[in-house]
Amino acid sequence: MKETLLKYFCPLLIVLFMSTMLKAQSQRTTTPQYIALYKDIAIAEMKAFRIPASITLAQGILESENGNSVLARNSNNHFGIKCKAEWTGEKYYHDDDAAQECFRKYPCVKDSYHDHSLFLTSRKHYALLFNLEITDYRGWARGLKQAGYATNPAYAELLINIIETNNLSIYDREEKTGPLPMVKDSLIAKTETPILHQVPLQDTVRVVHNDQDDFQDVILTDGQRVSGINNGVHFITARKDDSYEKIAEDMALTVRDLYHYNDVEKDYKPAAGEKVYIELKKEDASVSFHTVETGESMLDIARLYAIRLKSLYAKNRMKPGTEAEVGQRLWLQDNAPVY
């Protein structure tokens, strides 16, 4: 009797399982469906903030997998924006670059689109994007990658391909607004000094080209801090008589986070010209090894390659607080072998 039941019960389970899977797959939003659902929101945000609708839609498609990703379904977060220190809304924890990272959770998708606009318009390292024409989606895609929005080296090309495959640039032509207004209700920028969204390129910006392949070009703007990207991590350069308190205020960060990002203790004073990272450094460098030179500390080397000091010690099986010897070869990606 038992064998007879199993004979009929198991095939039934398989049929039910396959039916459920097919139904689930059929309910997944396709790219054309996603565009139809959210193009009007993207256009409205473009008119309010002057971010190309094509770029917003392409990022939403890519980051949320057409709204089908776990993050999108559970938190309405379509742009992969993490909590950051200033976020006071609901949170959702999800594995990303590290386990259980904190992501912003929204009541609805429209809120995610609006916060995406606020995020781009209130962070200084995206300011130069607003010098571009609204129809220059290629420039925007490459600028987002250059500014560090995503770590994927092909991020710009992925966005461009999505835009061109789906003809999203047609929505950029609906932009009829004048100069970009200042954002008054940003969740991020709360300093007394307004953050300018447009910087006159010909008057205030010059580019310093680095000789080292590991570093990207540094952008200098009059009246603003020197900023750049090293190993995919954003940094600013400390000024004479600078302090972490001043830097934290200018960059809308907490002093505590700034100390943590840079592996330094409270009351540490940066030297003029020193790199101060404004986000968490990576666990791996972009090169494999470093040979210690005279006068270099472990902190200096961690700062040079934008790698976490704790990770640098761990990879080289060294006790935290000790220093490497001159001429010693340090491992920056893999763990040093045990001899």
Give 3-state DSSP helix, strand, coil % of the chain, rounded to 5.
45, 10, 45
Task: Tell me the H-state helices in the chain.
Answer: 2-26, 31-49, 53-64, 70-75, 109-121, 137-146, 155-165, 201-204, 244-250, 255-262, 298-305, 309-315
Residue 193 domain flag: no
Query: What is the C-alpha to C-alpha distance for residues 33 and 66, in angstroms, rounded to an integer?
Result: 8
Whole-angstrom Cα distance, residue 216 to residue 211? Answer: 9
Tokens of 285: 């460098």
At residue 98, the pLDDT reads 74
Mean pLDDT in residue range 136-147? 92
> Do residues 169 and 251 share a domain?
no
- Domain residues for the domain of 316 are 289-331
Overall average pLDDT of the 256-267 stretch: 92
Residue 112 within a domain = yes
- Residue 9 covered by a domain: no
Q: 147-173, pLDDT tens digit by residue?
A: 889 888 899 999 999 999 999 999 998
Mean pLDDT value across residues 110-137: 89
Query: How confident is the model over 172-191, as pLDDT tens digits?
Result: 987 554 333 333 332 222 22
- Output the domain CATH number for residue 293: 3.10.350.10
Give pLDDT tens digits for 23-33: 444 478 899 99
Co-location of 259 and 314 in the same domain: no
Residues 273 and 294 in one domain: no
Domain end (from 238, 256, 277): 277
Residue 189 covered by a domain? no
Write the CATH number for 95: 1.10.530.10
How confident is the prediction for the chain on average, in pLDDT?
78
CA 166, CA 110: separation in Å to the nearest integer?
A: 21
How many helices (H) and strands (E) the chain has is answered by 12, 9
pTM value is 0.48
> How far, in Å, CA of 212 to CA of 30, rounded?
43
Question: pLDDT-based confidence at 228, cuts 50/70/90?
Answer: confident
Dump pLDDT digits (tens) for 301-339. 999 999 999 999 999 999 999 999 999 999 999 998 886
| 31-46 confidence digits (pLDDT tens) | 999 999 999 999 999 9
Please count the structural domains in the chain. 3
pLDDT value for 225: 67
Say if 190 falls within a structural domain.
Answer: no
In a domain, 339, yes or no: no
| Residue 139 pLDDT > 50 | yes
